[in-house]
Chains A and B, each alone.
Chain A
């Protein structure tokens, strides 16, 4: 695009317009060394947008500027008004956005691993996608046609499987066009490719609980078994653990939910699984049960606390748990044990039990 750039003051169809330069005053903040093409195009943009000119040449101008600065939200806004005023073919617009998004999605992958001297270096990749996404939404809403949307999103997710804007847009598309039915099979596939894709897990939760039909008990039981299977596959994957707890938290019966979690944790512990999430879950279950007046798990021996451990009477099994817990600290998987007096004080305050029987407060091992 830049190669073919003809300055606007050399274009016959623009001769009636007096360009308006930017007035930054005598000593501005953070000037940008705009390219001369950008400055030229913007000078003409200023001139026509201030009069809200609705014309073909205005639309062409927005195309040109978006190519140089897709994060300019006002230009997108102007473009939307132009498309409607000129009664343009919105399918063509969708193709334009497709190309732009695909190119940018690839750039996003490429530019950050490139060196500082790479001319493709983009300083602000985090600004433009949200604007492009909302423009697309406006166009698709007006077209009332979703046929291109899921394939398009799938393409973006193939490039970047955790693209926040793509997932956000996907939620809008499936809700707006009632496209829920294909989601779980699609997510099954994504979780086979990458069981740690937290965006896919989050979307699964959205599909299960925000869909048009309320999930049945039978469905949720199947979903719990599905998730347990994924945890067995990767016991240190926080995404699947959180999802499991998320579903269990929606259970009408908290005691049953705790039992499910407790017996699953016991199963993993018996197979010598080392996982900080397993231990955290044991803590969660103990705490939940204690809150309901069931003190057995707290009186058993050691209460394994997050960020440290507090001993009560000592049982080898739970001491082993605590030791595993410490192993996890060494790998910095979760946060740290007490390291100073301020923390020790906080720790004592926040525990319901006295710490005088404390076996140890673990020392830092990172």
Chain B
């Protein structure tokens, strides 16, 4: 008997058995349609998705919501927003306490904290960080037996053998120091980092602009991959006081700076990381700070395959951090304080899968493979129904699945802008103002929200969104130019506790027509020429959905017999028109960087107009009274006095109507019942550490919702057999017939 083939057969059989066993085992441990590998499953894991791969993960460069989802949990700026308290409240994160600020006049003399803003030439913020905070494990910190950096410098032949970031077998960590924060502030001026806030911060941080110029010159003299030692250049804007204290020097007074201290731009970056990544050959392997972050946060990026998955793992060196013990009213009843005082983070791993399309995302959420989901227009009716009070509620199917709904008004404003430089709709003249006011009444954004947003929005009453200081709730906050109180029916439901009217409705179209006539366009025609009034709406929106939106806008303008010409273009051309001021009417929006009214009202500040200065005032609105009030308001602390100034500013822009305050979108989020401690917090980005999951409940539901249906296999086989058999029979008949012929 030949001996060779027997062991071969045995080997094949063993491999086949091993594969079969692996399949059976996999099928036993998780449903057959589970999209996760064994390594990604089990234990305390959160499953989520991202629709677009992040472009930048460098905290000095990234300025996008989809990137902050990751960065916010990896990097730790000195401050953060309290998870539960509303309105949003800053609190120390790595800082030992809130920053202290000292003011100085032009002669360098210290001023009292309540000094007049005009006298303040310099503000100096001192931030003291907690000692003992350590970085995530990373090869840039690895040291050899002699205590020298293991991978800095790295020989090219050594790097040649490394293909994946996990091939760096040795890692290390070190304590976070004040140097790291100052280093990051310097990095904002690094010519190769290209921080988007360099221009803005150069106006505030002392010497940042000069540092950027010097660094740009120095970089020119080097190769692109070479390390640029930014610490070797003079910089007065930030300096280290001691190992755990640093100071930032600002020109004048800029109280909003503390909010920036809660953003990743001001998170610490260790110099070792920059030295490590700037070695020759690293960039060609996609090893860069823009790709592999190095932070002190609750999680670190363990797997970065943005075409498929991004996996965060618990940072083993994460500092002592605890779940908040106090929150907003109602949080305790909602169970949001059940984990008070528990050590954070509560989830070991977070798996983000790339999901470009809404349909598979939604279906996988319903199968239990994603823990949370937004609601698209397509899935809205399946998930949400409006109750008798007109409030959104879950459908019975969602309730049966234990799904929970959380809604929150976003700190965002969408508006329709009028170019104030335009001869027809622009300017502060009475006719132009009345024309804009007439349009503000005619364009029914309640209807827009109902049709295009499934009711997920609040009609805008002014430039400040809800949740931001300066926003007025209820009837007090209603824009009287567009709405009027509506309590004629004496319905008690429409009255507040004080008996005052709490209900309002849009002014009738007659009011708009009257204003239009007063503006010189009776019945939509120019009183002087008799020509119909034609207005132009510039937009970058395209596609079928945009078309229906534009049709709706045309109808709104047609209510006043005004013809609207939609000038759709691509985003680049649209931006170009805005910069040149050649657009007439446009739609735009702003998402809060921080919860301060200054971050919205500056969009109407004259010196920030788009034309000529390239600022963010896209309407090119310039009202000296508003500008003076803005300059006063921006330096004030939140107080009744500040509210009074804001009220005057809001009143001015309502009267001038450079914007048509369209809506504040509402975020609707769904989550499965096994995910705990979820409260919408639209300013924070480090929310993962507060989450808790019940993996056993999830596994039970996943098994229940994903039992394979096997009868279609038999039916499909039968149908195929039913199709093949007549063909085979016919073939045989034909063959026999040929033989007999």
Q: Do A and B come from one complex?
A: no
